[in-house]
């Protein structure tokens, strides 16, 4: 480098630019056909590679702990590209690596069971985990004792998440790729070309020196992934190692000092090599990844692929991270939500829609304002069916993307507005929910049964949302038992008036009016009288618009309750 003239440097730069693909610009490829959907632009790029069938799309994460909604990017982003390519007549495999030979580097403060319930580290056998710091996830016993290993436990949850959003993935265990020898040839190749490997990687990592060996054996004595290789015998397919201390963040995981020999199946490649090795072994044509990889492992990864492994790296795509209610995901801070949690709050298609949006934009997944997202989806859907006015852009996006977001577009479906569904959730009587929805005109006589069922399923979800956020819809009609109350005489008299009025049979607005009238008649401040009503029906001082609500609940109960008789 030092002997080169400036011209040569420029030529080098030129060369590098020509062969280096930016993972950012894929969504809007200059000079190419403009697409309304980013996955179409990515699919163009994949097709340009003239890939062999089946086309392989990969994602992957380290099953290190609670797999939260952010990890779903790895699944859904790839899925949309896979679907677009399938539409175009290609055979596509979507594989997903659980990078489960990675060592446990620090104790997670929070874990979760297979149902997705968060569990504090203190509630499981933490010391057993502590002893396994530095060991591959697949060699650590499952703290919940329900799966074969720690790695399997969290891999299972990832698989469940993919199932829940109805994305077919082939989950591949990286440990298995090593153990079955599928990564053995590429591992040997890397060790055979250690000099090249060092040279390439040293451009990205300062620590890579003469002694660096791109292989980390697992200590046969203590089971930890070690970093000190003392000799390599490529022909025999073994390395000698000494089990030394490993730096992990701010702490040190101590090695046992054992000296031994490991085969190429008994260890792992460092990530910067493992990733490109996976591309080669699995034949990966496209892989999305988070922005943390964009300036680190992606540049080195494509360099390793081309100049060490001599393969063409996959089409890349960066996705922005999103936040949860404005804060970064953090299981230790409790700011975490799992796919299973989200699906208790909204339909899978709404979640799929969220991931169909532009990956280059950082977004907030706001549970507090989940109604906005659901409204947005409902509108998106209505635009697809031509039910509402929309701009050209919105229409084009909906027409292209909606069929990829829902399984089976059905025009007769019914969507209750999310906040209205939350109001219906104030009663747990399914018949009453349906009746109110009918009266309010959301369900009509000739609607098919499946559509009604689907509509009312949202009520349960909106109810969960109200309960989880404790928002203004979090009221529960106290039907079985009358709440404690203490009213003065004028209030009781006004309630008696109101009961008599309701008994006569009146509409929602009339009842609303009578609430004012009866309060005035007995000199009860209107606000206080409303509070009395909310106390009787919800055991709260506030609540939904009372007249319409009461008019929709069965009359006998309302009258009896106003008279404090049940």
Using CB under 7 A, which residues numbered 351 to 390 contact RNA?
Answer: 357-358, 360-364, 366, 369, 371-373, 375-376, 379, 390
Residue placing its CB nearer to RNA in the complex, 53 or 472: 472
**What one-character DSSP code corresponds to residue 108?**
-
Applying CB under 7 A, which of residues 20, 21, 205, 330 lies at the interface with RNA?
Answer: 205
Minimum separation from the CB atom of position 445 to RNA (A): 19
Residue placing its CB nearer to RNA in the complex, 231 or 362: 362
Q: What is the DSSP string of 151-203?
A: HHHHHHHHHHHHHHTT---EEEEHHHHHHTTTTHHHHHHHHHTHHHHHHHHHT
Subset of 148-187 contacting RNA (CB under 7 A): none
Candidate ranges 8-16, 144-152, 231-239, 391-399; the one touching RNA (CB under 7 A)? 391-399
Candidate ranges 159-167, 180-188, 344-352, 519-527; the one touching RNA (CB under 7 A)? 519-527
Residue placing its CB nearer to RNA in the complex, 68 or 272: 272
Subset of 293-312 contacting RNA (CB under 7 A): 293-297
Minimum separation from the CB atom of position 21 to RNA (A): 12
By CB under 7 A, is residue 28 in contact with RNA?
yes
Minimum separation from the CB atom of position 235 to RNA (A): 26
**What one-character DSSP code corresponds to residue 83?**
H
Terminal C-alpha separation, the chain:
89
Contact yes or no for 447/412 (Cβ under 8 A) = yes
Applying CB under 7 A, which of residues 17, 485, 520, 566 lies at the interface with RNA?
Answer: 520
By CB under 7 A, is residue 526 in contact with RNA?
yes
By CB under 7 A, is residue 507 in contact with RNA?
no
Q: Give dist(CA 152, CA 173) in Å, integer.
A: 9
Q: Give dist(CA 187, CA 204) in Å, integer.
A: 20
Applying CB under 7 A, which of residues 551, 559, 561, 562 lies at the interface with RNA?
Answer: 551
Contact yes or no for 66/96 (Cβ under 8 A) = no
Applying CB under 7 A, which of residues 120, 310, 407, 509 lies at the interface with RNA?
Answer: 509
Q: Give dist(CA 173, CA 429) in Å, integer.
A: 46
Applying CB under 7 A, which of residues 40, 74, 102, 287 lies at the interface with RNA?
Answer: 102
By CB under 7 A, is residue 14 in contact with RNA?
no
How many other CB atoms are there within 10 angstroms of residue 525's CB atom?
A: 12
**What one-character DSSP code corresponds to residue 106?**
S
By CB under 7 A, is residue 521 in contact with RNA?
no
Burial bucket for residue 300 (CB in 10 Å: 0-12, 13-18, 19+): buried
Applying CB under 7 A, which of residues 74, 99, 139, 285 lies at the interface with RNA?
Answer: 99
Reading the block at residue 57, the tokens are 């799309």
Token pair 């796919």 in the structure block, residue: 339
By CB under 7 A, is residue 247 in contact with RNA?
yes
Spell out, one character per residue from 317 to 356, where the chain touches RNA: x when CB under 7 A holds, - when not: ---xx------x----------------------------
By CB under 7 A, is residue 252 in contact with RNA?
no
By CB under 7 A, is residue 516 in contact with RNA?
yes
Rounded (5°) CA angle 547-552-554: 115
Subset of 436-475 contacting RNA (CB under 7 A): 436, 440, 472
By CB under 7 A, is residue 291 in contact with RNA?
yes
Size of the site for RNA (CB under 7 A): 87
Q: Give dist(CA 268, CA 213) in Å, integer.
A: 11
Subset of 53-72 contacting RNA (CB under 7 A): 61-62
HEC-encoded secondary structure of 332-346: CCCECCCHHHHCCCC
Reading the block at residue 53, the tokens are 């069938």
Minimum separation from the CB atom of position 325 to RNA (A): 10
Reading the block at residue 74, the tokens are 């790895």
**3-state class percentages of the chain: helix first, strand second, coil last, to nearest 5:** 45, 15, 40
Minimum separation from the CB atom of position 181 to RNA (A): 20
Residue placing its CB nearer to RNA in the complex, 92 or 284: 284
Q: Give dist(CA 566, CA 557) in Å, integer.
A: 8
Candidate ranges 45-53, 82-90, 450-458, 524-532; the one touching RNA (CB under 7 A)? 524-532
Applying CB under 7 A, which of residues 543, 558, 559, 561 lies at the interface with RNA?
Answer: 543
By CB under 7 A, is residue 391 in contact with RNA?
yes
Candidate ranges 111-119, 277-285, 496-504, 548-556; the one touching RNA (CB under 7 A)? 548-556
Applying CB under 7 A, which of residues 270, 276, 314, 425 lies at the interface with RNA?
Answer: 270
Subset of 407-436 contacting RNA (CB under 7 A): 417, 419-420, 423, 436
By CB under 7 A, is residue 255 in contact with RNA?
no
Chain centre distance of CA 114: 16
Residue 275 vs residues 42, 271, 278, 299: alpha-carbon distances, Å: 20, 6, 5, 12
Q: Give dist(CA 140, CA 116) in Å, integer.
A: 20
Applying CB under 7 A, which of residues 137, 402, 530, 537 lies at the interface with RNA?
Answer: 530
Q: Give dist(CA 192, CA 189) in Å, integer.
A: 5
Applying CB under 7 A, which of residues 45, 58, 198, 272 lies at the interface with RNA?
Answer: 272
Please give the order of strands across the beta sheet that includes 92-98.
170-173, 92-98, 55-61, 286-290, 315-319
Token pair 């073994």 in the structure block, residue: 238
How many other CB atoms are there within 10 angstroms of residue 284's CB atom?
A: 26
Residue placing its CB nearer to RNA in the complex, 54 or 394: 394
């Amino acid at each position: 480098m030092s002997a080169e003239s400036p011209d040569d440097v420029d030529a080098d730069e030129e060369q590098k630019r020509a062969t280096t693909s930016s993972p950012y610009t894929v969504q809007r490829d200059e000079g190419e056909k403009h697409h309304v959907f980013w996955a179409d632009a990515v699919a163009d790029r994949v097709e340009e590679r003239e890939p062999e069938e089946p086309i392989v799309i990969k994602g992957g994460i380290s099953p290190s702990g609670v797999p939260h909604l952010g990890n779903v990017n790895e699944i859904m982003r790839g899925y949309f590209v896979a679907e677009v390519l399938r539409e175009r007549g290609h055979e596509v495999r979507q594989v997903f690596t659980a990078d489960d030979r990675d060592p446990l580097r620090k104790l997670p403060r929070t874990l979760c069971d297979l149902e997705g319930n968060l569990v504090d580290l203190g509630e499981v056998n933490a010391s057993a985990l502590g002893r396994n710091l530095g060991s591959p996830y697949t060699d650590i016993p499952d703290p919940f004792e329900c799966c074969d290993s720690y790695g399997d436990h969290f891999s299972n949850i990832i698989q469940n998440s993919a199932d829940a959003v109805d994305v077919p993935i082939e989950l591949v265990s990286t440990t298995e790729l090593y153990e079955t020898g599928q990564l053995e040839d590429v591992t040997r190749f890397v060790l055979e070309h250690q000099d090249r490997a060092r040279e390439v990687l040293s451009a990205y990592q300062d620590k890579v020196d003469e002694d660096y060996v791109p292989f980390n054996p697992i200590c046969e004595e203590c089971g930890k992934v070690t970093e000190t290789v003392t000799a390599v015998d490529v022909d025999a397919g073994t390395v000698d190692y000494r089990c030394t201390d490993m730096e992990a963040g701010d702490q040190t995981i101590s090695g046992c000092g054992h000296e031994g020999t490991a085969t190429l199946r008994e260890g792992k490649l460092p990530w910067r090599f493992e990733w490109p090795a996976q591309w080669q072994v699995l034949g990966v044509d496209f892989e999305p990844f988070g922005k943390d990889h964009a300036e680190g492992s992606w540049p080195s990864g494509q360099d390793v692929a081309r100049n060490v492994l001599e393969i063409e790296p996959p089409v890349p795509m960066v996705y922005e991270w999103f936040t949860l209610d404005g804060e970064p995901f953090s299981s230790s801070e409790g700011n975490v939500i799992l796919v299973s949690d989200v699906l208790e709050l909204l339909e899978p298609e709404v979640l799929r829609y969220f991931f169909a949006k532009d990956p280059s934009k950082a977004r907030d997944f706001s549970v507090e304002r989940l109604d906005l997202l659901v409204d947005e989806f409902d509108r998106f859907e209505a635009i697809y069916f031509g039910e509402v006015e929309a701009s050209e852009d919105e229409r084009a996006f909906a027409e292209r993307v909606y069929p990829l977001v829902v399984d089976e577009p059905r025009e007769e479906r019914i969507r209750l507005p999310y906040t209205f569904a939350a109001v219906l959730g104030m009663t747990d009587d399914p018949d009453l929910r349906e009746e109110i929805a009918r009266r309010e005109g959301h369900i009509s006589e000739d609607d098919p049964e499946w559509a009604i069922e689907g509509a009312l399923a949202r009520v349960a979800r909106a109810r969960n949302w109200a309960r989880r956020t404790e928002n203004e819809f979090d009221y529960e009609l106290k039907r079985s038992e009358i709440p404690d109350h203490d009213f003065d005489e004028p209030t009781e008299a006004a309630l008696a008036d109101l009961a008599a009025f309701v008994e006569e049979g009146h509409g929602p607005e009339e009842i609303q009016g009578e609430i004012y009238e009866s309060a005035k008649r007995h000199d009860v401040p209107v606000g206080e009288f409303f509070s009395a009503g909310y106390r009787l029906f919800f055991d709260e001082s506030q609540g939904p618009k009372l007249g319409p609500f009461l008019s929709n609940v069965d009359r006998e109960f309302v009258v009896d309750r106003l008279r404090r008789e049940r």
